[in-house]
Amino acid sequence: MPSDLNREPRTPGEPLLRVEHLVKHFPLTQGIIFKRTIGAVQAVDDVSFELRRGETLGLVGESGCGKTTTAKTLLRLEEPTSGAAYFNGQDIFRLSRGELRTARRKIQIIFQDPYASLNPRMTIGDIITEAWEIHPDVVPRAERSDRARDLLERVGLPGESLNRYPHQFSGGQRQRVGIARALTLNPDLIICDEPVSALDVSVQAQVINLLEEIQDEFGIAYIFVAHDLSVVRHISDRVAVMYLGRIVEIGDEDDIYEKATHPYTQALLSAVPVPNPEGREHRTRIMLEGDLPNPADPPSGCRFRTRCFKAQEKCAEEDPALIDRSGHGHPSACHFPEVLLSVGS
């Protein structure tokens, strides 16, 4: 992408976002008035990563692995159980209500379901300008409708859409409205929560392209949540693979797609459909057995061991840290990391 050319050289220093040991447990309670906690669903358990300005981090995993919860905690739509997230040097988990209001301008979200993410009772114009009613200093009142029109046109919708209601638009168009809404406050970071999963494949490409153009134009960083490795590859600079509330492997495109060392990443890669029948037969397909374990009662040691084809005794006893054990150049939470050449490419 041209973004690779235009982007500022990556300078070491403070990243835009640094998430440290993020934990989100949903307590399981019993009782009607006096609630007793009888356990916790460990939706996100000790997740750490960094995001540089203008960078895209793909967050991949199957449903229930905690990727959406991670995204929502960063917006404080869910309150984290513990951990820290430094955004522009400020820990967003420790902000007061007033500070949070200001900080929220700089982090926005695009949702998965374009049919649920727009208020059916509001016109597109109301939806776009609401942000400026909440933060009146961003755009003066007189300019709001012009700015809203510009924004709509920027995301590829006719300016007259302002006076229409969401149900008059298709899924792809609604998603564009969602993108325009996310842009209203000139954010530094947009969290894209499976923004194309609900769209037709032809529209997916258009929306992804739009997101990339916007990134180049405004220098916005993305956290791109998805369950589809091929979509993520297209847009991400780096990819983090999550399993049962943990990041199991993180690295740049090459690390994940060509040199994956975690058996779970390898299994995911081997499940990506290959459109070309030639050579397809020679690919190793890793079939995972069983279902995702209960996140309220995760397996001892390595969380993936119950479904792992490499599992050994050590895996049940010792929880593998997310480190670069074997010098593959990127961290992987596996005791026995190794590159399988037959999967992926």
Partner 1 sequence: MSDGTEVRRPSEGDTATGTEVRAEDQFAQQHAEEAAAPPAVGAGTAGTAAAVGDSPRQASLWGDAWGELRRSPLFIACALVALTIVAMAIAPGLFTRTNPRACSLTNSLTPPGPGAVFGYDLQGCDLYANIIYGARPSIIIGFLAAGAATLFGAAVGAIAGYYGGWFDAVVARIADIVFAVPLILGGIVILSALPSRGVWQIALMLVLLGWPQIMRLMRSQVISVKEADYVQAARALGASDGRIMARHILPNAIAPVVVYATIYIGVVIGAEATLTFLGVGLQLPAISWGVLLSEAQNRLLQAPHLLLFPGSILVVTILAFLTMGDVLRDALDPRLR
Binding residues for partner 1, rule CB under 8 A, total 77
Contacts of 47 (CB under 8 A, 6+ apart): 19, 21, 22, 23, 66, 70, 83, 242, 245, 246, 247
192 binds partner 1 (CB under 8 A): no
Nearer to partner 1, 71 or 315 (CB): 71
- The pattern of x and - marking residues 224 through 253 that bind partner 1 according to CB under 8 A reads ------xx-xx-------------------
In whole angstroms, the minimum distance from the beta carbon of 125 to partner 1 comes to 11
Q: Helical H runs in the chain?
A: 2-6, 67-74, 97-103, 124-134, 144-154, 171-183, 201-218, 229-235, 253-257, 263-271, 313-317
284 binds partner 1 (CB under 8 A): no
123 binds partner 1 (CB under 8 A): yes
Q: Which of residues 299-338 bind partner 1 (CB under 8 A)?
A: none
Q: Which of residues 133-172 bind partner 1 (CB under 8 A)?
A: 134-135, 156-158, 160-161, 163-165, 167-170, 172
200 binds partner 1 (CB under 8 A): yes
Between CA 82 and CA 103 the distance in angstroms is 19
**Which two structure tokens, joined as six digits, stand for 6?**
């235009």
Best CA proximity match to 341, nearest among 328, 332, 330, 331: 328
Please pick, from the candidates 201, 282, 287, 341, the single residue that binds partner 1 as defined by CB under 8 A: 201
Contacts of 220 (CB under 8 A, 6+ apart): 54, 187, 188, 189, 190, 214
121 binds partner 1 (CB under 8 A): yes
96 binds partner 1 (CB under 8 A): no
* Strand 189-193 versus strand 221-226 pairing type: parallel
In whole angstroms, the minimum distance from the beta carbon of 280 to partner 1 comes to 8
In whole angstroms, the minimum distance from the beta carbon of 123 to partner 1 comes to 7
Q: Please tell me whether residue 141 adopts helix, strand or coil conformation.
A: helix
Nearer to partner 1, 131 or 333 (CB): 131
Nearer to partner 1, 212 or 319 (CB): 212
Please pick, from the candidates 42, 69, 73, 108, the single residue that binds partner 1 as defined by CB under 8 A: 108
Best CA proximity match to 209, nearest among 166, 274, 155, 157: 155
Contact 164, 107 (CB under 8 A): no
**Which two structure tokens, joined as six digits, stand for 303?**
């969380």
Please pick, from the candidates 10, 30, 38, 77, the single residue that binds partner 1 as defined by CB under 8 A: 77
In whole angstroms, the minimum distance from the beta carbon of 128 to partner 1 comes to 11
206 binds partner 1 (CB under 8 A): yes
- Range 92-122 burial, b when 16+ CB lie within 10 A, else e: bbebeeeeeeebbbbbbbbbbbbeebbeeee
Please pick, from the candidates 95, 100, 292, 340, the single residue that binds partner 1 as defined by CB under 8 A: 100
Q: Which of residues 250-279 bind partner 1 (CB under 8 A)?
A: 257, 272-276, 278-279
197 binds partner 1 (CB under 8 A): no
- Name residue, tokens 């590829």: 156
